Structure 1
Amino acid sequence: MMHLPILPILLPLLAGIALLLLRPLGVKVQRMVSFGAGFALLMLAVLLFDASLSGQRQVYALGNWSAPFGIVLVFDQLAALMLLVTAVLAVGALWYAIVTETDAQGRHFHVLFQMQLFGLNGAFLTGDAFNLFVFFEVLLLASYSLLLHGGGAKRTVAGLHYVVVNLVGSTVFLFALGALYGALGTLNIADMAVKVAALPAEREGLVMAAGLLLLVVFGLKAALFPLYLWLPAAYANTSAPVAALFAVMTKVGVYAIIRVHGTVFGAEAGNLAYFYAPWLLGLGLVTLLLASLGVMAAFQLRTQVAYLVLASVATLLIAVGLQSQAALAAGLYYLVHSTLLAGGMFLLADLIVRGRGDYADRFDPGMQMPHYQLLGGVFLLAAMAAVGLPPLSGFFGKVWILQAALAHPWHWVVLATVLLGSMLLLVTLARSGSVLFYKVKAKPDAADPVITETIPAFGLGMVAVLWLLAAVPLLVVLANPVSAVMERVAAQVLDVSGYQAAVFAPVVGGK
């Protein structure tokens, strides 16, 4: 266990470097190395998650420099959970990219994919706010190129908007970090929590303003209203494996809010304790309503799935904004469900597009597509899970969040918004499934495009879809033990004093 906490960062970094050097050997070699690295990362994530269940935090001091002066990685149950979800998602997305040969549509796909994982895992493990910024930039740089992989006018326009918005977010991030460092003299998350707890009254306004700037930055990453407009076009127009991996990108913003704001402005922060929660809850409710309307207004399946991602993130932000252990545990359960479900739905949407010919993912009645029975059945399962219908995992997650909301003063607003959003999703996805699979033409018109008899790589592609959507029934079958684990994760997250004690205790370091 001595050096395990740094391996999720080193493994994709070294794999990316190796893939860059191996590029002259051809795409087949790159595929084997990349998928092997992804599968190894999954095995490592399983091992680390199992180790985290002991409840003991692991702090890794790079260069043996102790906090708050050195760079530390903090490995706990929340970080382990995010690493595991990311690894599961990455394996499915990589497999789909390989079997459908999406990775061959541009250069350096596998290098960029591994660099994306490097940035994601670093963001989950870092214990320093500045290094959180660094890892954000790493994953964003990789995501810029992945988003544009394969080219195309729509992809380029969406990518340009994505780049500009995130560059503005990065600038604001630096302003916020500068203000916090000027007021507190540190950017180590645990040390910041100590300084905020003893903050003089005259500096509270400055620190609160900097905390709100950070909330803006993390809200931009999580696609919180009014900073979500970049997401639908970016996710809908990129390739399916990239969109599937991007399902966890918004969760990085949610994670950062939980980790940074929940620690620095937690229960021990005096007058600043949870000052951000009403903002987060209110904007989360607005985001959920607008995302539900976006799902209704979408003319294409992939755009609709992108808005479903937005709706799931809004539900997560509502859970975090409720500011209780029960709500946080429910939100973490829903995070696992929604992330893997969204990844699977992006891959499923791509298979549907491949089967509809020139109809693509437009909601226009067309000819019956190949394998419509299996595709329709899987779409029904995914749609029910996305809406939150019983007995699937989306229902368990939403009910748990609503139960936690009953103790909050805004409980009627939360209940009404979540239920209204679910109703809108139900009506819309029922209509979408009907158009795609039931309102089909008996005979083609003269102007209709030709529908192929088979979908290339359908069987192997469906393996990736089912790999990710398997989380839906598994979270139901294992609901009791999984919910118990989420309770423990939430309790550890809210234990700020325990986090501080682990960071400032003698730690295992790397030389």
Structure 2
Amino acid sequence: MELWLQHAPVLTVLLPAMTAVVLLLLGDSGGEHGHDGDSVGVCRRVSLTSVALGGLMAVGLVVHASTGELMVYRLGEWPAPFGIVLLVDRLSALMLLLTATVALPVLWYACGGWDTRGRYFHALFHFQLMGLNGAFVTGDLFNLFVFFEVLLIASYVLLVHGQGRERFRMGVHYVVLNLAASALFLIGLGLVYATTGTLNMADVAQRVAQLQGDDATLAHVAAVILLVVFGLKAALVPLYAWLPATYAAASAPVAALFAIMTKVGVYSILRVHGVIFGIDAGALTESVAGWLLPLALTTSALGVLGTLAAPNMARLVAYLTVSSVGTILAGVALYSTQAWSAALYYTLHSTLVVAALFLLVELIAAQRGDTCDRLQPAPAVREPVLLGLMMLLGAASAAGLPPLPGFLGKLMILEASHGLSAQAWVWSVVLVVGFFTIIGLARAGAIVFWHVQPCEADAVGHAGHSARLIAPTALLLLLGVVMAGLASPLKRYTDATAQQLTDKAAYVRAVLGEGAAPTTRPYRGEPAR
């Protein structure tokens, strides 16, 4: 194994962390009237180079993970479960690649001017990537909490980047809710440790199925608490109300980057409730699944209703984010390898298209004068053909029209529900949500591109038509088309990923060693042996 690949799990965290430190030392700062000076140019080059390197590293990890090997990295060579363990399997590698695929075009877009509207944008961007990557590779529940806090702290500042009263107002709500979620997270971890004596994911996974009596009850409470925490991060009903206004208030590149943040919640639900508390955890699995599916379907339905009622395009896209999360979690809640594969495929598509639409909304708003992105008649945009085609492609992708990947992902979820008692509900919600998504996006497109008002030439916005802004937006949209072309190999990879997730024994052996075997339950408060 090559040296870089051997240390790749920890490098995925160290690279953005060290880049952020370097950018701080370089003085990555800006102001309301920032300019493309030498220091700004250097910071941009360092930042873009680091994200590109991270993307190449993620590609290498996906290629290696496709062999089926679980890469375990023990920090300080401390054996699990006593030391900190990082692990890259097919799912982790896929999420790392998705993060880099979103981050590079978004950062490219931000370099068009947004990065100079506040201080330390690039450093904060990389701290958030550090938190995201760390959450995807950690093999320990407590360190999952730590990386959650890293990415959230960075997101607090990124949310108010560029300032503005609305951003500060929504920032307060966002911080308060996430601090409450963090407190619940610690309570859930405390209950897990009290019942199993460990927080290592592999160790917990083999112990939790053996719990009985009061310990099993406490483990059930812990699972529900963690579901609440991850549900808040993913914007699951009834914990979704914070997302539309928050994402709509953020600047376009920040909102686009935040598209991956809801997927951290989805990932955590799949990893914790699908693997640790899943498949063979008996009544614990059934109780969580019993809650998750109806909540997911309700999330998808309420998200599309918000899309229909959205007063502006930014909120419309934010509600699309909520709706897509519901569709993904519906697949997760079916608890089968076929459904998990479909959910992962749809995750890739929805993240890319939502990120692209957040950027596209700003491009359109910048050319509509004082009306901005409000859904009301306004002067015609300066580039109706280009932006109209981009809007059409984004809308078709989000609505799931064939042959785009949104259609393929939803079709896979529908097939996975065949023969299940919930099949009628899944089919009804997914199909109706897709139909109303088309209506909501068609309404927005008609208002923006058809219901135009005559005006003087100088009244039309002159911003939003820079190639530096259009190119990364178009790239994200075209990646959806690429996904459709690569549907077969992507499906094979997600199938193998879902299958690997169900092999709990292999996961335990990789982390704890070949001699690992189910252990007896520790005494209350006794550390794991």
- SS of the residue corresponding to residue 73 of structure 2 reads strand
2:239 is aligned with 1:227: yes
Native 8 Å contact 2:274 2:335 kept in 1: no
1:381 counterpart (387, 393, 407)? 393
Distance 1:14 1:357 in 2: 41
1:19 counterpart (23, 32, 35)? 23
2:448 is aligned with 1:444: no
> Structure 1 residues 449, 232: closer, same or farther in 2, change over 3 A?
farther
Shift in Å at residue 28 of structure 1? Answer: 1.6
Q: Which residue of 2 aligns with 1:269?
A: 281
Q: Which residue of 2 aligns with 1:46?
A: 59
Distance 2:367 2:502 in 1: 48
Shift in Å at residue 506 of structure 1? Answer: 7.0
CA RMSD of aligned residues (A): 1.5
Distance 1:179 1:399 in 2: 39
Map 1:341-380 onto structure 2 (within 5 A): 341-380=353-392
Q: Which residue of 2 aligns with 1:83?
A: 96
Moved more, 356-365 or 273-282: 273-282
Q: Which residue of 1 aligns with 2:510?
A: 502
**TM-score normalized by structure 2?**
0.93
Q: Which residue of 2 aligns with 1:71?
A: 84
Moved more, 335-344 or 272-281: 272-281
Native 8 Å contact 1:359 1:449 kept in 2: no
Please tell me the residue identity of whatever aligns with 2:285.
A
Please tell me the residue identity of whatever aligns with 1:476.
A
Shift in Å at residue 406 of structure 1? Answer: 1.5
Distance 1:71 1:31 in 2: 33
Instruction: Name structure 2 gaps, 5 residues minimum.
Output: 29-37, 516-529
2:57 is aligned with 1:57: no
Q: Which residue of 2 aligns with 1:5?
A: 9
> Structure 1 residues 363, 273: closer, same or farther in 2, change over 3 A?
closer
Superimposed CA distance per residue, residues 458-502 of structure 1 (whole angstroms, 9 cap, x where no aligned partner): 212111112211221111111111111110111111111111111
2:329 counterpart (317, 330, 352)? 317
| Identity of matched residues, % | 47
Q: Which residue of 1 aligns with 2:306?
A: 294
Native 8 Å contact 1:288 1:421 kept in 2: yes
- SS of the residue corresponding to residue 87 of structure 2 reads strand
Distance 1:275 1:72 in 2: 29
2:474 is aligned with 1:466: yes
Superimposed CA distance per residue, residues 296-343 of structure 1 (whole angstroms, 9 cap, x where no aligned partner): 110100110000011111100101001111110000000000001111
- SS of the residue corresponding to residue 161 of structure 2 reads coil
Native 8 Å contact 2:353 2:476 kept in 1: yes
2:244 is aligned with 1:240: no
> Structure 1 residues 215, 178: closer, same or farther in 2, change over 3 A?
same
Distance 1:331 1:90 in 2: 21
Please tell me the residue identity of whatever aligns with 2:19.
A
Q: Which residue of 1 aligns with 2:521?
A: none
Give the count of matched residue pairs: 502
Q: Which residue of 2 aligns with 1:489?
A: 497
Shift in Å at residue 202 of structure 1? Answer: 3.0
Distance 1:334 1:282 in 2: 19
Please tell me the residue identity of whatever aligns with 1:444.
C
Moved more, 271-280 or 282-291: 271-280
Superimposed CA distance per residue, residues 385-427 of structure 1 (whole angstroms, 9 cap, x where no aligned partner): 1111112111111111011112321110111111111111111
Please tell me the residue identity of whatever aligns with 2:497.
V
Please tell me the residue identity of whatever aligns with 2:57.
L
Shift in Å at residue 41 of structure 1? Answer: 0.7
Distance 1:186 1:178 in 2: 10
Please tell me the residue identity of whatever aligns with 1:94.
L
Q: Which residue of 2 aligns with 1:331?
A: 343
Native 8 Å contact 2:364 2:464 kept in 1: no
Distance 1:38 1:482 in 2: 23
Please tell me the residue identity of whatever aligns with 1:79.
S
Q: Which has the higher contact order (CA 8 A, sep 6+)?
A: 1
Native 8 Å contact 2:273 2:285 kept in 1: no
Moved more, 258-267 or 225-234: 258-267
Superimposed CA distance per residue, residues 59-95 of structure 1 (whole angstroms, 9 cap, x where no aligned partner): 1000101111110001100000000000010001100
